[in-house]
Structure 1
């Protein structure tokens, strides 16, 4: 399948952001709404306890699987939200860098949030995404 996502770059806004400021989805497209990917292994255990980068890697691997099961891939993502259970900006940046590495040149619009707590025991990172693919 070919992606329907087009990244929009602003020449007016600051270039400091490591992502496109907007994305469009060209019709016809089928939207894929991925639940927040968590750092769980196949048995449901939290991977990388205490390690933001290790959890972010597991999250992105799990997101790839969820997207593939829906007929999409990382380059079909139109938007992500990255949740990091920390109030330390260093931890947010650590998780963000892993997400960016997985996305590569497909630097989709993203929101990075520090939150008080996530749903699973010892969970530090979660990523949700919206993707679009041609039917």
Structure 2
């Protein structure tokens, strides 16, 4: 099944590693996902202190949640990547992992540095919205 999501490019704006907008046709079913956290199966936080490893675990969690909802990464219409750091390098480290996971489906995204996230030792969280046609 092909994705209902259409990525929209803005050639008049700065060249970025993500689409500036996305849309889905009328009648699409929207899927609002809880923030994907870097949790192990036992509920502990994976890879304390490692931005890249936590971002990778967040992507795995996101993929599992999408699968249960009947979607894949290519059905994601937007993301918000939260990184508990004020250092731009830490944000970029997490972003590089997320961006690589999405590959050519460079969905519109917002990357934010935040003060703290909800779980002990948590450094990364990924929020997402997906759209599918049934």
Match of 2:13 in 1: 13
CA shift, 1:78, in A, is 0.3
CA shift, 1:37, in A, is 0.2
CA shift, 1:3, in A, is 1.5
CA shift, 1:2, in A, is 2.8
CA shift, 1:86, in A, is 0.0
Match of 2:91 in 1: 92
Match of 1:27 in 2: 26
- Give TM-score scaled by structure 1 length: 0.97
| Partner SS state of residue 61, structure 1 | helix
Map 1:1-135 → 2, pairs under 5 A: 1-15=1-15, 17-135=16-134
CA shift, 1:134, in A, is 0.5
CA shift, 1:71, in A, is 0.4
Unaligned runs of 5+ in 2: none
Mapped to 2, the partners of 1:14 and 1:46 lie a distance apart of: 36
| Partner SS state of residue 78, structure 1 | strand
Mapped to 2, the partners of 1:40 and 1:13 lie a distance apart of: 37
Mapped to 1, the partners of 2:33 and 2:101 lie a distance apart of: 16
Mapped to 2, the partners of 1:121 and 1:14 lie a distance apart of: 37
| Partner SS state of residue 48, structure 2 | coil
- Give TM-score scaled by structure 2 length: 0.98
CA shift, 1:27, in A, is 2.4
C-alpha RMSD over aligned residues: 0.7
